[in-house]
Structures are given as C-alpha cells and as structure tokens.
Amino acid sequence: MEVISVITACQDTYSFNCNKSCDARHCLGSQDCDVFYGNCTGGCQAGWALPNCTTACKSGTFGPGCQSKCSERHCKGDNSSCDSQNGTCQHGCQPGWKSRSCNLACDDGSYGAGCKFSCSKRQCKVSTTSCNKVNGSCEGLCLDGWMGVDCTGCDGKYGPDCSLSCDDRHCKDNNAPCDHMTGSCEGKCLPGWQGATCTDNCSNTTYGDNCAMLCLDRHCSNTASCHHETGQCVGGCVSGWQGTTCSKVESAASTDFPVGSAVGGIVAALVIIAVVIVIIVFVRRRKLTTKDHTEHRPVLEKTENTLGKRSTVFSGQLCSAATCVQWLPVFSGQLFMAATCIPPEPF
C-alpha cells in the first residue's frame, strides 16, 4: 500500500519514484499521463499516435491519435498523403470538392476545381441551375459554337469565363494540353515555375527545376534571393566565385594579374642569360687555347741562309731535310732570309 500511494502522488511524471516526465508526450489537453507507463490519459494531440503519443502519424493518417485516413479526403493527385495534424491536402482538392481537407462537396450550382465554375454559365441546350459537381456535365448537347463536357469550351483559354490564356503557362512540353477548366499542363514546368498550370514562379529563395534549388547554396555577395529561373545572384558573387549562379570557383586566368605576360617575360630573360653565359664560356675557352698554342710554339735559335743545306736548329735540335715535316719561308720585308723547319712531333 505504501508503494501505490507513492505512485498515485506523481504530478506530470510517471514510472517508479515518478522519475520520468510526461512533458515528452504529446498528450491532448493537459500533460497528464498514466503514472505507470506514461500513456496519455486524454488521448494524443493531432499528428501523434497512441498509446504514448511520442510517435508521429505514419504516412496516410492524420489527426488526434492518427485515427483518420488521408484516403478519405479528395486530395488532388496522390490522395494517400496529407498533413499529419489536420489532414490538409498538400496540393489542393479534386474537382467537385472544397475545404482544406477536401471533404466537402461543392455547393449546388457550382462545380469543378475549387468549386469556381457556375452551372448557370454553361452553354447547354437544356439550361439547368444545377449540374454535376465534378465536371459540370450538361448531360446533353451544347448550343451551337460551344463544346466540351460542360459546354464552356474556350479557344486557347481556360478557367472561369475563359478568362485565362493557355499561352501564359510555362509548361515544359510546348505541346501540353490545356484543359479548358483547369488549364493543367499535365506534366512538368519550365525551370523557375510551379503549380498545375505552371504559372506560379518560385519563391525568391528558390529557383530551377521544381523550385528545388536553394539560393543560399550559392555564393551571392549580399543577398539570399535570386532569379527564380536561372538562380542568378542579384548583387553579383563574393570574391573567389564566378558564374551565373556563383557556384564555380574563380580560375587564376580570370584574375586581374597578367599571369601569362609575367611568365613570358621570365622565360625570355632566362633565355637571354643562358645565351650570354654560353658566349662568355666560348670566348674564355678560345683565349685559353690561343695562349696554350703560343706557349708551346718552337723558338728559332739559329737559321742558316743556306738553301742547299736546308737545315736549321729548333730549340737546340737539328732539323734536317730528312726529318722536316714542313718548311716555312722567313722574309725580312720582301727579302727572303731563310726557311723555317717544323720538326715532327716527338714520340
């Protein structure tokens, strides 16, 4: 009895010793929960599932305790999904139905998408004030010059009183049909546009196909908004980025510094320096070679002016006609003085 009295004394808590809070639950009304297991005693808030109200409704269900089904709505497109809390259809209602959850039929005398069309404005041969709430069928023939199920067919226009032009849509398919009631493209929109008729542009923070691209993902200089079709930054790109959407890293070639000219100048300077070095080395080697030949040339010690003997002394050695390799004449002015002998190389 003592343990039970402790448990029943829990306030906004549960479990043994009341050490767990009911605040983590999404209980309907108050935050009271079962003192033993924490189950919400008054049910769950809309969008949360029983029994403990901590699990969000699964896809296809909504409302308190997730007891309602989205398929009971008349949502446009896939009616198996809707807002998990209030069942609101995310893409509007099917023709013939209205309210946020699309569970109310059009009033008598109206029909079509959003119940915007009037039965009395049809061009039926048999005029009636009421009609099919979904398509406004005349259930008979149209007056001459009119066509369509509801005898309101328009030439290149759609909507109430044929007030909207099919050419104002931005369908991805240029040959997309234009329903005279809804104007639906029945397909995808061009980048930057959305909606069944592709006449609603993306918000100022999104752009591109299905408005799925975020302006914040680019590198705009001063704003998070961009063009709804191209994503072009209104104020240009921050430093280091380029392109229409400021999503490309700026290359070195696009900077203001003339990199190409600088590199060309450096290469030319290196070539000139190399040529100068080669010339200097060549001249020095030639000087050394000339000096070496000069130092090793034989010195004439004695020359006899006797052509018949044809012998002379080079560096103390006798050079005879038999051993002479080459004779060189020696002149004094225009007077022939002697013949110089070049001896053979020593072995």
Residue range 306-325, pLDDT digits in tens: 434 444 444 444 455 555 55
What's phi and psi for 9, nearest 5 deg?
A: -85, -5
CA separation for the pair 182, 149 (Å, rounded): 13
Nearest residue to 226 (alpha-carbon basis) of 246, 241, 242, 250: 246
Confidence of residue 194 (pLDDT cuts 50, 70, 90): very high
- Number of CB atoms found within 10 A of residue 125's CB: 12
Of 139-153, 221-235, 291-305, which gets the smallest average pLDDT?
Answer: 291-305
Contacts of 264 (CB under 8 A, 6+ apart): none
Residue 279's H or E segment, with its range, is: helix 259-295
pLDDT of residue 289: 67
The more confidently predicted of residues 327 and 213 is 213
CA 151 to chain CA mean position, Å: 48
Q: Would you place residue 295 in the very low, low, confident or very high pLDDT band (cuts 50, 70, 90)? A: low
Q: Binning pLDDT at 50, 70 and 90, where does residue 339 land?
A: low
Entry pTM: 0.41
State the Cα–Cα distance between residues 248 and 253, nearest whole angstrom: 14
Average confidence (pLDDT) over 154-158: 77
Tokens of 147: 């066509």
> DSSP letters of 100-150?
TTS-EEPPTTEESGGG-EEGGGS-BSS--S---TTT---SSPBPTT--STT
Cα–Cα distance, 203 to 229 (Å, whole number)? 10
Question: Can you list the pairs that 1-7 forms with residues at least 24 positions away whose Cβ atoms lie under 8 Å?
Answer: 7/35, 7/36
Q: What is the pLDDT of residue 1?
A: 42
pLDDT at 171: 92
Residue 248 has pLDDT above 60, yes or no: yes
Cα–Cα distances in angstroms (integers) from residue 276 to residues 80, 265, 267, 279, in the given order: 86, 17, 15, 5
The better pLDDT of the pair 49, 168 is held by 168
Query: What is the model's pLDDT at position 96?
Result: 92
Predicted local confidence at residue 150, as pLDDT: 83
* Separation of alpha carbons 74 and 102, rounded Å: 5
pLDDT level of residue 167 (50, 70, 90 thresholds): confident
What's the mean per-residue pLDDT of the chain? 75
